[in-house]
Chain A
Amino acid sequence: MLKQVIDRAIAEETALDERDLYDLNLGPSHPAMHGIFENRVKLDGERIIKCEAHIGYCHRSFEKLSEHYSYNQVNTITDRMNYVSSMANNIGWVIAAEKLLGIEVPKMVQYVRVIMFEINRIIDHMICNGILGVDAGAYTGFLYFMEHREFAYRIFEKMVGARLTTNFCRVGGLDRPLYPDFKEDVLEWIKPIPAVLKEFNLLLTRNRIFIERCRDVSAISGERALEYGFSGPNLRAAGVNYDLRKNRPYSSYEDFDFEIPLGGNGDVYDRYMVRMEEMNQSLRIIEQAAKNMPEGPWHADVPEIFLPEKKDVYSNMEAMIYHFKIIMHGICPPEGEVYQAVEAPNGELGFFCVSDGGPNPYRLHFRSPCMYYYQGIEELLHNSLIADAVLTISSMNAIAGELER
């Protein structure tokens, strides 16, 4: 049986070799690739006969590294995974660690996390759709989006002090109290976004050139997408109604009223439209969360897990002891394992953590959504054109940093 399979594979390979095909390395550092992806394609003219997707050019051994890190230190490497939406990764990891420790964080912290998560979703989709436009030859819309992404980064900067590598949240709460005008800033930021989206729609959505570039390009059926393990907007574009915010709510997503946009065909245009609509829904969530944000403490009352306030550390003996204990011994969750997935901007971002009772995770696995999209690329690019290949990869929203961790 195995011999037959191997024989058939070899026969196919030789048949391909006999045809006069052109080999092209689309990547790892190709100007059309956004990130370090390598696709070895065999071309017949401009048509891709065979595509081999390779990974391994951006591997930074995050999973192994995190076995030597304390639970709060792991936070610093999660924001280097999907660097377009780093806070989403931070929040996902912190929620996973809290599930392992069995902490319930206050409602206010959950709402702030939701707000930051959705701001990240909007700026991630802005980048993805903007880049899709750039790849299709429309540079302008991308730049108009960048302006508002910059304003979002100013909120991050006021909140945590960094723009890209945010290191938001700690296990058990936020990393520091909210700054006074947080709510006003967020509401002010979302005010111009509908107009910006409308403008982007004018530029691209009903433009015939863009539609003809995108429709029926790399279409995938819902069943096939599920077989590959697709998630997030790419799965919803194929018509499968699966969103972790609705199906398995975390961080009080059940409090908010929003809809899940669905596509039908799973082609590039559907993915684009699903993302555009998701931005509108995210705006709704942010508005609800900011307006209904309850007052309350900015961290859970867990002195053996969350660092005490600095004021107490300098003056109070008990706080000083807790401070030393948390830094020197780390946070030690009970033995066990946990899987927590969040609906990150580009799909289901999961954290599987095994604890042996020590201060470091015994094993930590990141389920990055890009990994599964990238496996499907070989099939999606089969028999397509090179120009479509570029659009396919950028519409998948695969981020090299997350693909290989």
Chain B
Amino acid sequence: MDQKRKDPFKKYDLTLMERLYFPAIMKGMGVTLSHFFKKPVTIQYPEQKPEVSHRWRGRHVLKRDEFGRERCVGCQMCELACPADAITIQAGEVPKERRHLHTTERYAITYEIDMLRCIYCGLCEEACPEAAIFLTPYYEFVEDSRDKLIYTKEKLTEKTGGPIFYKD
């Protein structure tokens, strides 16, 4: 290297102490030893669960309203907003005898989310005009086959209802 060395960090003039390997090693050991007496920061995961924030984007849930009726009207906005094509909806007219279970005469006959395709971006939640779909802080998806991770409407829908939920 014949080009003249420019050295703003003064790395080439090692002092005598730095030339000896020993002090550097002792310093490094000192740092390591000081950490030995600190409180561990790791979490023993399956036994100890980390606390996640309430904004966490995890498993989806389909809400019901105060009267226990499904909020989802099958408008397919979430399907349109989904960048991963994970949501599949078949919409249809509510039969007369089941009219009391739905808010309008349109509903989702099938509502499937492929939990393996989903990227948990939260765009479906933003797109929903009926306060129906929300992402919850649940994050543990373990099944022994891919089919079981296609969540159907029965699995996604909440059992009880309530007033409109505002996720801040």
Interface assignment of A20: CB less than 8 Å from any CB of chain B: no
Tell me, rounded to whole Å, the shortest Cβ–Cβ distance linking B126 to chain A: 6
Q: Contact between B9 and A263 (Cβ–Cβ < 8 Å)?
A: yes
Q: Contact between A273 and B9 (Cβ–Cβ < 8 Å)?
A: yes
Q: Pick the contact of B123 from A76, A140, A211, A215 — CB < 8 Å?
A: A76
5 inter-chain pairs at a CB distance below 8 angstroms, sorted by A residue, are: A76-B121, A76-B123, A175-B122, A202-B30, A203-B28
Interface class of chain A by DSSP: helix
Q: Pick the contact of B5 from A147, A175, A265 — CB < 8 Å?
A: A265
Tell me, rounded to whole Å, the shortest Cβ–Cβ distance linking B9 to chain A: 5
Tell me, rounded to whole Å, the shortest Cβ–Cβ distance linking B113 to chain A: 16
Given contacts A215-B12, A323-B129, contact A167 B6 (CB under 8 A): no
Interface residues of A (CB under 8 A from B): 69, 72-73, 75-77, 138, 140, 144, 147, 150, 154, 157-162, 165, 167, 175-177, 179, 199, 202-203, 206-209, 211, 215-216, 219, 221, 239, 262-265, 269-270, 273, 307, 310-311, 313-314, 320, 323-324, 327-328
> Which residues of B27-71 have CB atoms within 8 Å of chain A's CB atoms?
27-28, 30-32, 35, 41, 52-53, 55-57
A323 to B32, CA, bound (A): 55
A154 to B53, CA, bound (A): 8
Q: Pick the contact of B11 from A161, A202, A211 — CB < 8 Å?
A: A211
Q: Contact between A208 and B8 (Cβ–Cβ < 8 Å)?
A: no
Q: Contact between B135 and A161 (Cβ–Cβ < 8 Å)?
A: yes
Interface assignment of B83: CB less than 8 Å from any CB of chain A: yes
Instruction: Please give, as numbers and ranges, the residues of chain A lying within 8 Å of B52 by CB-CB distance.
Output: 157
Interface residues of B (CB under 8 A from A): 1, 3, 5-9, 11-12, 14, 18-19, 21, 24, 27-28, 30-32, 35, 41, 52-53, 55-57, 77, 80-81, 83-84, 119-123, 126-127, 129-131, 135, 164, 166, 168
Instruction: Please give, as numbers and ranges, the residues of chain A lying within 8 Å of B166 by CB-CB distance.
Output: 310-311
Q: Contact between A144 and B123 (Cβ–Cβ < 8 Å)?
A: no
Q: Contact between B83 and A208 (Cβ–Cβ < 8 Å)?
A: no
Q: Pick the contact of A140 from B18, B24, B28, B80 — CB < 8 Å?
A: B28
A76, A179, A307, A311 — which one has the most chain B CB atoms within 10 A of its CB? Answer: A76
Q: Contact between B11 and A157 (Cβ–Cβ < 8 Å)?
A: no
Q: Pick the contact of B3 from A76, A77, A147, A221 — CB < 8 Å?
A: A221
Tell me, rounded to whole Å, the shortest Cβ–Cβ distance linking A218 to chain B: 12
Q: Contact between A161 and B55 (Cβ–Cβ < 8 Å)?
A: yes
Tell me, rounded to whole Å, the shortest Cβ–Cβ distance linking B43 to chain A: 10
Instruction: Please give, as numbers and ranges, the residues of chain A lying within 8 Å of B12 by CB-CB distance.
Output: 215
Given contacts A147-B41, A157-B52, contact A264 B5 (CB under 8 A): yes
Instruction: Please give, as numbers and ranges, the residues of chain A lying within 8 Å of B24 by CB-CB distance.
Output: 206-209
Instruction: Please give, as numbers and ranges, the residues of chain B lying within 8 Å of A154 by CB-CB distance.
Output: 53
A324 to B6, CA, bound (A): 60
Q: Contact between A167 and B121 (Cβ–Cβ < 8 Å)?
A: yes
Instruction: Please give, as numbers and ranges, the residues of chain B lying within 8 Å of A208 by CB-CB distance.
Output: 14, 18-19, 21, 24
Q: Contact between A69 and B57 (Cβ–Cβ < 8 Å)?
A: no
Instruction: Please give, as numbers and ranges, the residues of chain B lying within 8 Å of A311 by CB-CB distance.
Output: 166
Instruction: Please give, as numbers and ranges, the residues of chain B lying within 8 Å of A206 by CB-CB distance.
Output: 14, 18, 24
Given contacts A215-B11, A313-B129, contact A144 B35 (CB under 8 A): yes
A211 to B13, CA, bound (A): 11
Given contacts A144-B35, A215-B11, contact A159 B81 (CB under 8 A): no
Given contacts A206-B18, A270-B9, contact A320 B53 (CB under 8 A): no
Given contacts A208-B24, A209-B21, A320-B129, contact A262 B8 (CB under 8 A): yes
17 additional A-B pairs beyond A221-B3, A262-B8, beta carbons within 8 Å, are: A72-B123, A73-B83, A76-B84, A76-B121, A76-B123, A157-B52, A160-B55, A161-B56, A167-B121, A179-B55, A202-B28, A208-B18, A264-B8, A269-B9, A270-B9, A307-B126, A310-B166
Q: Contact between A158 and B81 (Cβ–Cβ < 8 Å)?
A: no
Tell me, rounded to whole Å, the shortest Cβ–Cβ distance linking A67 to chain B: 13
A208 to B19, CA, bound (A): 7
A147, A209, A310 — which one has the most chain B CB atoms within 10 A of its CB? Answer: A310
Q: Contact between A263 and B28 (Cβ–Cβ < 8 Å)?
A: no
Given contacts A73-B83, A161-B55, A206-B18, contact A167 B122 (CB under 8 A): yes
Tell me, rounded to whole Å, the shortest Cβ–Cβ distance linking A224 to chain B: 11
Tell me, rounded to whole Å, the shortest Cβ–Cβ distance linking B125 to chain A: 9
Q: Please list the 7 inter-chain residue pairs (A to B) with the smallest Cβ-Cβ separation, ordered nearest first.
A: A264-B6, A161-B55, A161-B57, A73-B83, A158-B53, A76-B121, A207-B24
A307 to B19, CA, bound (A): 62
Q: Contact between A239 and B6 (Cβ–Cβ < 8 Å)?
A: yes
Instruction: Please give, as numbers and ranges, the residues of chain A lying within 8 Å of B81 by CB-CB distance.
Output: 73, 327
